């Protein structure tokens, strides 16, 4: 999805906070941040998935579309996403994970991208163990741009999940499955946190 706006400043000059969009932040453990930069009605269910992964202990951020329609205009591409509170939250984090929505309604799959190869592999393994299908990220969805918000943490690498619409719809309908998804990702993060950086 191409950006209508090339920066947060450009977006905020045209769109109203509280009317067109909102930002939700819960700052907990500073070492781990889970973000939904295209939450609310921009990429439905990504906020809920990110919040479930964050749980009660990891920091959470969501930029959410609130419009009755046309929320796609609020989609700032990940390598351009520069909302100041998000940047501040991630800059000192060792682990940054972003949750995105992929458009496929026919197939259930998750694409795991980002520059943090070890974390990506662990997330992929844990999701597959929990019964979810993964596939390699397609062109443009690899999350390997150094400016991608997932790669702007302290270690300059991170991970991103592209969750197909069919998976997101199933997670909306089945809260137990949503929790299983979140638990799988959390296990990957927890295991990785035990390793030395």
DSSP assignment of the chain equals: ---S-SSHHHHHHHS-BTTTEEEEEE--EEEEEEEEEEEETTSTTHHHHHHHHHTTTEEEEEEEE--SS-GGGG---TTT---HHHHHHHTT-SEEEEEEEE--SS---EEEESS-HHHHHHHHHHHHHTT--EEPPPTT-S---TTSGGG-STTS--EEEEEEHHHHHHHHH-HHHHHHHHHHHHHHHHHHHTS--
Single out the residue of 178, 193, 152 nearest to residue 50, CA to CA.
Answer: 178
At 2, is the pLDDT very low, low, confident or very high (cuts 50, 70, 90)? low
pTM of the model: 0.95
pLDDT at 195 over 60: no
How deeply is 108 buried, as exposed, middle or buried, from its count of CB atoms within 10 A (0-12, 13-18, 19+)?
middle
pLDDT at 91 over 60: yes
Of 191 and 187, the structure prediction assigns the larger pLDDT to 187
Per-residue confidence (pLDDT) for residue 193, from 0 to 100: 74
109 — phi, psi (to 5°)?
-165, 160
Q: For 99-121, how does the pLDDT look when each residue is reduced to its tens digit (9 = 90+)? A: 999 999 999 999 999 999 999 99
Single out the residue of 122, 161, 187, 176 nearest to residue 34, CA to CA.
Answer: 161
Through-space distance between the first and last CA atoms of the chain, rounded to whole angstroms: 34
Single out the residue of 92, 116, 138 nearest to residue 188, CA to CA.
Answer: 116
| pLDDT mean over 76-92 | 96
Spatial distance between the Cα atoms of 154 and 48, rounded to a whole number of angstroms: 25
Spatial distance between the Cα atoms of 27 and 34, rounded to a whole number of angstroms: 10
Per-residue confidence (pLDDT) for residue 194, from 0 to 100: 46
Spatial distance between the Cα atoms of 48 and 174, rounded to a whole number of angstroms: 12
Per-residue confidence (pLDDT) for residue 192, from 0 to 100: 76
The two structure tokens encoding residue 95: 């682990």
Q: For 132-178, how does the pLDDT look when each residue is reduced to its tens digit (9 = 90+)? A: 999 999 999 999 999 999 999 999 999 999 999 999 999 999 999 99
């Amino acid at each position: 999805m191409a950006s209508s706006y090339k920066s947060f400043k450009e977006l905020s000059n045209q769109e109203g906070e509280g009317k067109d969009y909102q930002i939700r932040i819960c700052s907990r453990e500073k070492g781990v941040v889970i973000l939904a930069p295209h939450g609310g009605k921009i990429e439905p269910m990504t906020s809920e998935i990110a919040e479930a992964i964050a749980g009660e202990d990891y920091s959470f951020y969501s930029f959410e579309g609130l419009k009755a329609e046309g929320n796609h205009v609020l989609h700032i591409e990940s390598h351009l996403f520069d909302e100041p509170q998000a940047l501040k939250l991630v800059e000192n984090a060792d682990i940054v994970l972003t949750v995105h929505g992929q458009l496929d309604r026919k197939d259930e799959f998750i694409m795991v991208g980002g520059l943090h190869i070890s974390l990506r592999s662990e997330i992929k393994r844990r999701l597959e163990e929990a019964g979810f299908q993964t596939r390699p990220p397609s062109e443009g969805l690899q999350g390997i741009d150094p400016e991608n918000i997932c790669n702007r943490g302290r270690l300059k690498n991170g991970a991103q999940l592209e969750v197909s619409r069919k998976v997101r719809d199933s997670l909306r309908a089945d809260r137990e499955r949503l929790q299983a998804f979140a638990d799988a990702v959390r296990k990957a993060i927890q295991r990785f946190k035990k390793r030395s950086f």
